[in-house]
Structure 1
Amino acid sequence: MWDVVVTNVKRVIAERLLQSKQTVSQYYLTVQCEVDTMLELHSNNNSKARDGEYKISVNDFVINAAAAALRKVPEGNAQWMGDKIRMYHAADISIAVQTEQGLITLIVKDADRKGLKERTSDVKELATKARENALASKEFMGSTFTISNLGMFGVSNLSAIVNPPQAAILVVGKSEQRVVPDESEPSGFGTKTFMNVLLSSEHRLVGGAVGAQWLSQVRSCLKDPVNIIM
């Protein structure tokens, strides 16, 4: 038997998670997103990347889609302040990253105003700082929205906990190929790749219909990301 010292980071995370479960009126919505075009763009871009260039990850496309959706459905980019709702012009998106010091969220500032490659560069640099325990407070505190991608660990679905006072958190599951009807194939069937994404929302900020609209925007952006990657 042994004891593990609770670090300040772990203590803060525990306090916020408990606060969220006790005080936030959370609900959950899930959609399946067709991602074949996104994965093709991902593969083509990285195959052409020169030495020293950052390669774009699937998570970068997810950040891209979430940022575009927050611009179109701004209710998701808000915070509950008790006696008022605070709306934000810029989408400062937190990305959950596991480090030796525990789970930490890195903030991509103005994510809705940057191109895909610029956001990719931001995430890579912040992740390096996080692993070196060299993040400034403004680089992991004060975001307006959170994304957690567990698909890389083989997870399909997760009901994540909203990070108060934010409106919502988006969870991304793994991509899976499925058989679907396809009249262009002799057999009448083909395969497409789908990714599960789940939105946990604060009902006082994001009602069910608004949450559905926001997820619809994400699904559209992931299915056809060409027009929003610049």
Structure 2
Amino acid sequence: MPNSSMRKVIARRLSESKATIPHFYVTMDIEIDALLKLRADLNARSPKDGPGAYKLSVNDLVIKATAATLRRFPSCNATWTEDAIIQYHDVDISVAVSIPEGLITPIVRSADKKGLAAISNEMKDLAARAKSGKLKPEEFQGGGFSISNMGMYGVSDFSAIINPPQAGILAVSAGLQKPVVKDGALAIATVMTCTLSVDHRVIDGALAAEFIQALKRTIEDPLSLLL
């Protein structure tokens, strides 16, 4: 099977990423029961059809939470160059979408400034046009940080390869019911494992830990996303 142009680009970029970017990984378990409840409550408020209709996914809320956290941690919204670290003013989130030819990362631009319904509808449109090959170059080239979500496949844990020249990518796994200890007692919670892959040239260990800790707090207190 001859390699397509897209396959060649994917191979080149990922080989370059693993060979030249010093990756390290930070993983946390995040409880999402409150997020699931908020999602269900907001979806119940949506009109059934028309321009105001929406249907939020877990990924939509993760995009918003990640964007809000990046706004608080501009050092993670950055790129390495030999002369300087470039920090981006806008929070543009690249979201990995699987397509028949391979993988593409359409961008939700200024995601921290958009509401959940806007992010959801924009992401559905981008993903649909990605799969039909109708994205414009500016809709998938660029971005300051990536999210790769394989939760819909039931994946319990994975680490993602950084999307160069970005300095970070968040791998999002499935929300699974697990036993947890709360106040010394055993309980059941829906837990989602997230792994942050970062470029050590840009982001040091303490900063990566603080970022994913802040992201965990935001996802576990999802009402903050409505403020």
CA–CA separation in structure 1 for the residues paired with 2:138 and 2:123: 14
Indicate conservation of the 8 Å contact 1:108/1:122, yes or no. Answer: yes
Structure 1: gaps spanning 5 or more residues: none
Aligned to 2:128: 128
> Which of 204, 210, 213 is equivalent to 1:213?
210
Structure 2: gaps spanning 5 or more residues: none
| Residue 182 (structure 1) shift | 4.7
For 1:124, give the aligned amino acid.
K
Indicate conservation of the 8 Å contact 1:159/1:200, yes or no. Answer: yes
Indicate conservation of the 8 Å contact 1:179/1:189, yes or no. Answer: yes
Secondary structure of the corresponding residue to residue 179 of structure 2? strand
Q: 1:135–1:36: structure 2 CA closer, same or farther, 3 Å change rule?
A: same
| Residue 96 (structure 1) shift | 0.3
Aligned to 1:107: 107
For 1:9, give the aligned amino acid.
M
For 1:203, give the aligned amino acid.
H
- Residue 48 (str. 1) matches residue 65 (str. 2): no
| Residue 50 (structure 1) shift | 2.5
For 1:31, give the aligned amino acid.
M
Aligned to 1:75: 75
| Residue 114 (structure 1) shift | 1.1
Secondary structure of the corresponding residue to residue 170 of structure 1? strand
CA–CA separation in structure 1 for the residues paired with 2:75 and 2:153: 30
CA–CA separation in structure 2 for the residues paired with 1:189 and 1:219: 21
The number of residue pairs the alignment matches comes to 224
TM-score between both structures, scaled by the size of structure 2: 0.94
For 2:210, give the aligned amino acid.
Q
Q: 1:182–1:29: structure 2 CA closer, same or farther, 3 Å change rule?
A: closer
Aligned to 1:62: 62
Deviations 1:145-196 (Å, cap 9, x if unpaired)?
A: 0000011111111121111111110000111112234569xxx432111110
CA–CA separation in structure 2 for the residues paired with 1:50 and 1:28: 41
CA–CA separation in structure 2 for the residues paired with 1:180 and 1:30: 17
| Residue 48 (structure 1) shift | 3.4
Aligned to 1:169: 169
Aligned to 2:222: 225
Aligned to 2:86: 86
Indicate conservation of the 8 Å contact 1:64/1:229, yes or no. Answer: no
Secondary structure of the corresponding residue to residue 157 of structure 1? coil
Give % identity.
Answer: 42
TM-score between both structures, scaled by the size of structure 1: 0.93
Aligned to 1:143: 143
CA–CA separation in structure 2 for the residues paired with 1:189 and 1:83: 52
Deviations 1:168-227 (Å, cap 9, x if unpaired)?
A: 10000111112234569xxx4321111100000000001000000110111011101112
| Residue 44 (structure 1) shift | 2.0
| Residue 72 (structure 1) shift | 0.7
CA–CA separation in structure 1 for the residues paired with 2:200 and 2:182: 38
Structure 1 vs Structure 2 CA RMSD? 1.5
